[in-house]
Amino acid sequence: MTFAQPIKLDTAHFDNQARQWDDNPLFHERGLKIAQAIRHAVPLRREMHALDYGCGTGLLSFPLKDELGTIVLADSSSGMLDVVAEKIAAQAVTNMTPMKLDLLVAPSLAQKFDLIITSMTLHHVPETDQILEIFHDLLNPGGYLCIADLEQEDGSFHGLEVDVHHGFDRDDLSRRAAQAGFSKPQFQTVFSITKERPSGTQDYPVFLMTARRTDA
Ligand SMILES: C[S@@+](CC[C@H](N)C(=O)[O-])C[C@H]1O[C@@H](n2cnc3c(N)ncnc32)[C@H](O)[C@@H]1O
């Protein structure tokens, strides 16, 4: 019996999506809702240095830019980063910097952050434990990690043939975050994505997990 090869959503996939990404009003609404939840969960300050990992076109960071000091917008897709750079130039933003980065390939940076935010990216990163440990290393003590992603789902969000995590179980992610050194992960539901399926509509809730690096 032969099995179809799993489909990888690689960098080329996101490069191809980049120019149309901001045409989707749902992506804008999702970014705004997650930003709002982060605002309520974290005491944002103008002194904070933040990393938006898997930033895409920056739909999460742009709504937060006036409440933070500096933001590094990191992504492995040059196509996404080209759009980010154009938006930064068009709006004359002075506190945001695009950076091509895959932390699983190059895990260390010459800078530390007070806040790491990431939206709908963790399910594309194969090594959850590794990325949580890297996030921990990149945060200053007391720094905040905010992960927005899909609740555990049945694989139908992308299709079973696509090689991604099928969302995350809250208890499991909480345990992994604690193992990586984070304390007190808190969860809330911040958004829901509805898709039409042959069996009817299906909702895919999105959570925000907030945790802190509390060691000295
Ligand atoms: C579903 S998109 C989300 C984009 C954006 N955060 C948003 O909410 O609109 C996932 C993003 O993660 C990026 N990505 C996937 N794997 C990555 C990795 N290992 N390192 C950095 N970025 C990655 C993709 O290029 C893409 O821009």
Ligand 1 residue neighbourhood (C-beta within 6 Å) = 14, 27, 31, 54-56, 59-60, 75-77, 80, 101-102, 104, 119-121, 124-125
Binned at pLDDT 50, 70 and 90, residue 216 comes out as low
Best substitution site from 10, 11, 14 to test ligand 1's pocket, by max atoms within 8 Å of Cβ? 14
Q: Ligand 1 centroid vs 75 CA: distance in angstroms?
A: 6
For residue 27, which atom of ligand 1 is closest to its CA? 9
80 C-alpha vs ligand 1 centroid, how far in Å?
9
What's the 3-state SS for 27-95?
HHHHHHHHHHHHHHHCCCCCCCEEEEECCCCCCCCHHHHHHCCEEEEEECCHHHHHHHHHHHHHCCCCC
Global pTM exceeds 0.75: yes
Residues 6+ apart with CB under 8 A from 151: 167, 168, 170, 189, 204, 205, 206, 207
Distance from the CA of 1 to the center of ligand 1, in angstroms?
A: 34
Place of tokens 């043939």: 161
Query: Measuring CA to CA, how many Å separate 3 from each of 6, 7, 161, 216?
Result: 9, 12, 10, 50
Choice among 8-12, 51-55, 75-79, 129-133 with the minimum mean pLDDT: 8-12
Angstrom distances, CA of residue 66 to CA of 57, 71, 83, 115? 17, 10, 20, 15
Ligand 1 atom nearest 14 alpha carbon: 25
Compute, in angstroms, the gap from residue 121 CA to the centroid of ligand 1: 5
pLDDT 10s digits, 112-162: 999 999 999 999 999 999 999 999 999 999 999 999 999 999 999 898 998
DSSP-derived secondary structure for 104-132: TTS---S--EEEEEEES-GGG-S-HHHHH
Which tokens sit at 168?
């995350």
Residue 197 pLDDT grade (very low, low, confident, very high; cuts 50, 70, 90): confident
Which residue's CA is the closest to the ligand 1 atom numbered 13?
54
Tell me: pLDDT of 1 over 90: no
Give dist(CA 205, CA 48) in Å, integer: 29
